[in-house]
Amino acid sequence: MRTPLADKVVEIKPSGIRKFFDIVSEMPDAISLGVGEPDFDTPWHIRNEGIRALEAGKTFYTSNSGLKELKIEVCNYIERKQGVRYNPANEVLVTVGGSEAIDMGLRAMINPGDEVLIPQPSYVSYEPCAVLAGATPVVINLKAENEFRLTAAELREAITDKTKVLILPFPNNPTGAIMEKKDLEEIAEVIIEKDIFVMSDEIYSELTYKDEHVSIIAIPGMRERTIMINGFSKAYAMTGWRLGYACGPADIIAQMTKIHQFAIMCAPTTSQYAAVEALKNGDDDVKEMKESYNQRRRFLMHSFKKMGLECFEPFGAFYVFPCIKEFGMTSDEFATKFLETEKVAAVPGTAFGDSGEGFLRISYAYSMDTLRTAMERLERFVTKLRNGEI
Amino acid sequence: MEEQLLKIIEKNSRIDLKELSVILGVEEIDVVNKLAELEAKGTICGYHTLINWENTDLESISALIEVRVTPQSGQGFDNIAERIYKYPEVHAVYLISGGYDLLVSIEGKSLKEVAAFVSEKLSAIDSVLSTATHFVLKKYKDHGTVLSKRNSDKREVITP
């Protein structure tokens, strides 16, 4: 019998994070610092709106691009945050999480052989989604000395005649890096000059600990060449509701909506009603969760400093990305040994691209008690390594 | 800093001072000074422990008592409230808007003990017109903490 499988799919490597979680699930007393989802429950008033929608019998499909009320709230929110106005009628698509928007966006923009620029370390889905869309992924290796920001020079160097789309993953998973206004202005110049498009994944936009997040759409000339992706998972602790959205020029959104309508129909109705409540009345919840993340972030940075572990100060998302190069091990070796000896799981930086070598992703979407214990164990571990006891 | 500091120690008054200063992003000495200031001002009134007595072998019962009183001229409710809150078994006394005047929270060893307090001590106060005692059957949440269940991490393994 011939193979029933598509080569393109078979050739995609499984996610590197998986391996670690499989080991952790076999160790009952292990502490995981690996999870990339908020540890908060969805705020009650938001859940209640979902319940109310069910009680009221709102159990039908919504229109393909999403509930009108939600699209209006999304546009109001973006205008409030970025001062940029989108038309809820044709410039917004409500998706099944930000993940779907990444997939739809690439599929809507890519012709076979187009190059997609992917700065790494970054979220693991961009590369496979680009490949499935028929693109050639081109990795830009971000550098620790730039605090893992994308520089104009790095961008310029990566662009060829075939470059079509730049993925802009900030605030960044796994490094916690952010791009500030001046950084964005510098790369915008190159983007406009070279006439390429941007897919800006801003799912962590509410979680910044310096100034408020600035989107590239706020830089003049960028709104018309950017698909901006965001969602409810990280800001409102709504991962399980599976809800995100994409905003962009009407012609791109129209094509994305076409794929979305044939593949998905529409995003979950209950979630959309809950999301309206989140955007209308969720600011205080976001503020409170953000303050809590920030306290944990300070605690981790202080712990690293105390144990002499090098780490640039990340101002976004809920990850820190300490450097473990001094121990002469690969990230994978370090993470494996750390898990074996101290029973703490952190994800090797290489799970997010080759340029993550020498780093470890530590999530602080965990209680202070968990983080405190984990840092005690990490300190003990690095001390043993430095003393040559392991 | 004040709001965050209060929120944190309201949840965990035993938190290490060093850690408190780290997570607030300020110097330890500033935390120490701020705490002293808030204690002196009476904003911080004490450092208590939240105990779920139902989890112990000790017998205990708590009740909420609605109290109707005649306010005294010139004193309002303050004088009566004080006469009530001076009893050590009284945990809390609130002046309430609505159908009655004072809400008294009391902890006793037994139903009998609470009943004795109401009939012999509370009702005996001249200005007290009437009382309605509600015994607490189960505490689900107290001081912002859910008592009935332990928090566990509900997140499942997922990649990416």
Mean pLDDT of the A190-194 span: 98
Q: For the domain B54-138, what is the CATH code?
A: 3.30.70.920
The pLDDT of residue A234 is 98
Q: Is the pLDDT of residue A18 over 80?
A: no
Element (H, E) at B113: helix B111-116
Per-residue pLDDT tens over the stretch B44-69: 999 999 888 888 999 899 999 999 99
Give the C-alpha separation, A286 to A236, whole Å. Answer: 6
Averaged pLDDT, A340-369: 95
Q: What is the pTM of this model?
A: 0.91
Residues A139, A193: one domain? yes
Q: What is the CATH number of the domain that holds A309?
A: 3.90.1150.10
Same-domain check for residues A297 and A328: yes
Per-residue pLDDT averaged across A194-220, rounded? 98
Look up the CATH number of the domain holding residue A147. Answer: 3.40.640.10
d(CA A79, CA A217) in angstroms, rounded, equals 11
Q: How confident is the model at residue A21 (pLDDT cuts 50, 70, 90)?
A: confident
Within-domain flag for A49: no
Residues A171 and A178 sit within 8 Å (Cβ to Cβ)? yes
Domain's final residue, options A212, A245, A280: A280
Per CB-CB distance under 8 Å, the chain B contacts of A294 are: 25
Task: Looking at the structure, tell me whether residues A327 and A270 fall in a common domain.
Answer: no
Q: Which residue has the tokens 């015994």?
A: B135
Domain count, chain A: 2
Q: What is the mean pLDDT of chain A?
A: 96
Q: Which residues pair with B62 in a beta bridge?
A: B107
Confidence at residue B3, expressed as pLDDT on a 0 to 100 scale: 94
For residue B66, what pLDDT is reported? 96
pLDDT given for residue A298 in this prediction: 97
Could you tell me how many CB contacts below 8 A there are between chain A and chain B? Answer: 38
Task: Work out the percent of chain A whose per-residue pLDDT is above 70.
Answer: 100
CB count within 10 Å of CB B79 equals: 13
The tens digit of pLDDT for each residue in B74-133 reads: 778 999 999 999 999 999 999 999 999 999 999 999 999 999 999 999 999 989 999 999
**Confidence grade of residue B149 (pLDDT, cut at 50, 70, 90):** confident
Looking at residue A88, its pLDDT comes to 98
- Establish whether the linkage from the previous residue to A4 is cis, with ω within 30° of 0: no
Q: Are residues A93 and A215 located together in one domain of the fold?
A: yes
Confidence (pLDDT) at B152: 79
Q: Taking Cα atoms as reference points, which of B50, B77, B70 lies closest to residue B139?
A: B50
Q: Within this chain, do residues A175 and A288 fall inside the same structural domain, yes or no?
A: no
The Cα A388–Cα A386 span in angstroms is 5
Claim to verify: residue A215 and residue A295 sit in the same structural domain: no
Task: Grade residue A26 by pLDDT with cuts at 50, 70 and 90.
Answer: confident
What is the pLDDT, as a whole number, of residue A319?
98
**How big is chain A by its Cα radius of gyration, in Å?**
21
Is residue B6's pLDDT more than 80?
Answer: yes
ipTM over 0.95: no
Mutate which: B8, B26, B146, B159, vs A, most A CBs within 10 A: B159
Residues 15-74 on A with a CB inside 8 Å of B are: 15, 17-18, 21-22, 24-25, 35-37, 39
Interface contact A386, partner B, CB < 8 A: no
Q: Are B148 and B87 in contact (CB under 8 A)?
A: no
Q: Of A258, A280, A302, at which residue does a domain stop?
A: A280
Do the Cβ atoms of B155 and A298 come within 8 Å?
A: no
Residues A295 and A227 reside in one and the same domain: no
pLDDT class of A13 with cuts at 50, 70, 90:
confident
Domain hosting residue A263, numbered range: 58-280
**Residue B143, pLDDT above cutoff 90:** no
The model's confidence at residue A185, banded by pLDDT at 50, 70 and 90, is very high
pLDDT over 80 (residue B73): no
Q: Does A265 lie in the same domain as A172?
A: yes
pLDDT of amino acid B84: 94
Please give the Cα distance from A371 to B108 (Å, whole number): 39
User: How far away is chain B from the Cα of A115, in angstroms, using its nearest Cα?
Assistant: 23
pLDDT, position A7: 93
Q: Which residue of A has its CA nearest to B23?
A: A295
For the segment A224-259, what is each residue's pLDDT rounded down to a tens digit? 999 999 999 999 999 999 999 999 999 999 999 999
Q: In A266-367, which residue ranges form alpha helices assigned H by DSSP?
A: 269-281, 283-306, 331-342
The answer on A261 and A208 residing in a single domain is yes
What is the model's pLDDT at position A315? 97
Residue A182 has pLDDT above 90, yes or no: yes
Contact A82, A218 (CB under 8 A): yes
State mean pLDDT over A108-112: 98
Strand, helix or coil for residue A28: coil
- The torsion of the CA quartet A305, A307, A311, A312, rounded to 10 degrees, works out to 10
Q: Looking at residue A145, what is its pLDDT?
A: 95
Residue A93, pLDDT above cutoff 90: yes
CA distances from A6 to A3, A12, A126, A188 (A): 8, 10, 19, 38
How confident is the model over A265-305, as pLDDT tens digits? 999 999 999 999 999 999 999 999 999 999 999 999 999 99
Residue A221, judged by CB atoms within 10 A of its CB (0-12, 13-18, 19+), counts as exposed
A289 and A275 within one domain: no
Co-location of A369 and A225 in the same domain: no
Task: Name the domain boundary from A256, A280, A304.
Answer: A280
Contact A17 B4 (CB under 8 A): no
pLDDT higher than threshold 80 for residue B72: no
Task: Indicate if A14 and A83 belong to the same structural domain.
Answer: no
Residue A274 covered by a domain: yes
Residues of A in contact with B25 (CB under 8 A): 294, 298
Tokens 């009437």: give the residue: B130
Residue corresponding to tokens 């017998």: B59
